[in-house]
Amino acid sequence: MAKTIDAKGLACPQPVLLTKKALGEENNVTVTVDNEPAVANITRLGKTMGCTLHIDKREDGTFQIHLSRDAGKIPSAPLDLSCATGPLVIAISSDRMGRGDDELGYVLIRTFIHTILSLEPLPHTVIFYNTGVKLTVKDSESLDDLKEIEKKGIAVIVCGTCLNYFGITKNLSVGVISNMYDIASTMAGAGRLVIP
Amino acid sequence: MTEMEKYHVILFDSVHHALRSEKILKGMGIPHKLIPVPRHISSDCGVCLRFTIDLRNKIEDALNGKVDIYEIRPL
């Protein structure tokens, strides 16, 4: 039996959750989504669940993903739902990495940000809050790295309350200003959340 | 010119020398970037300064005698 899911317009991780549920009921599932991160997340889920995948990019910009699970086939890896249910999110909560020495912490956070683009897979979103927002404004020494990160299609969201608190809102030079609803739901929807 | 060919890096034995160099270069307004030492290069301290090749002489003059440089090499 086959099941068809229309997951267009749904926010992450809904498409993945619906697909996972459907694969629990049927061996053949076709999902339609409208963004590439959803394709990547469903692909990862399919592989984890031992499915054969076929992806069609359609002219209207949507993607149709066909997943078929061979009956009786055991997934190659143990089912890791913690990874399969949402994207990788990085939350930069300070302009220092670690606690102890501020000068060293500032070196570490800059080198961490420089390293984000070499991660595999890339994160879906990088969030900045508290003093972390200072890394996203004019004259930040991490600005060139963050612009590259944004150029790669990774969402960069910056806490508006925090920019306002430090009086640097007008200096924001990368990413989009966001609120606690977005920040909390992005963090809660993450498959893995990395806070350096 | 590829990214790799465009840059050289200065390696240090100690993070403190890397930081002192960064301060000197910042003070003189010479463009550079503190980055983690790339995987294919090894160094004890883990951070290095990257700069574009055309600035090599300027940077060497600025740091000469003030910090201990382990090596300057292509990225």
Asked if A126 and A90 touch (Cβ cutoff 8 Å), the reply is: yes
Q: A104 vs B33: CB contact, 8 Å cut-off? A: no
Q: What's the ipTM?
A: 0.77
**pLDDT (mean) for A54-73:** 86
Q: Is the peptide bond before A13 cis (omega within 30 degrees of 0)?
A: yes
Over 70: is that where the pLDDT of A77 sits?
Answer: no
Domains, chain A, ordered by start: 2-74 (3.30.110.40), 88-194 (3.40.1260.10)
Task: Tell me which residue in A103, A114, A115 faces B19 most closely, judged by beta carbons.
Answer: A103
Interface of A with B (CB under 8 A): 103-104, 107, 110-111, 114-115, 141, 144
Over 60: is that where the pLDDT of A82 sits?
Answer: no
pLDDT band for position A102 (cuts 50, 70, 90): very high
Beta-strand ranges (E) seen in A58-182 are 63-69, 88-92, 125-128, 155-159, 176-178
CA pair distance A78, A75, nearest whole angstrom: 7
* pLDDT computed for residue A176 by the predictor: 93
Residues A14-46 pLDDT 10s: 888 889 889 888 889 999 999 888 888 888 888
**Selected residue with higher pLDDT from B20 and A36:** B20
Over 50: is that where the pLDDT of A81 sits?
Answer: no
Name chain B contacts of A110, Cβ cutoff 8 Å: 34
Domains, chain B, ordered by start: 3-74 (3.30.70)
Token pair recorded at residue A87: 């994207």
**pLDDT (mean) for A69-73:** 68
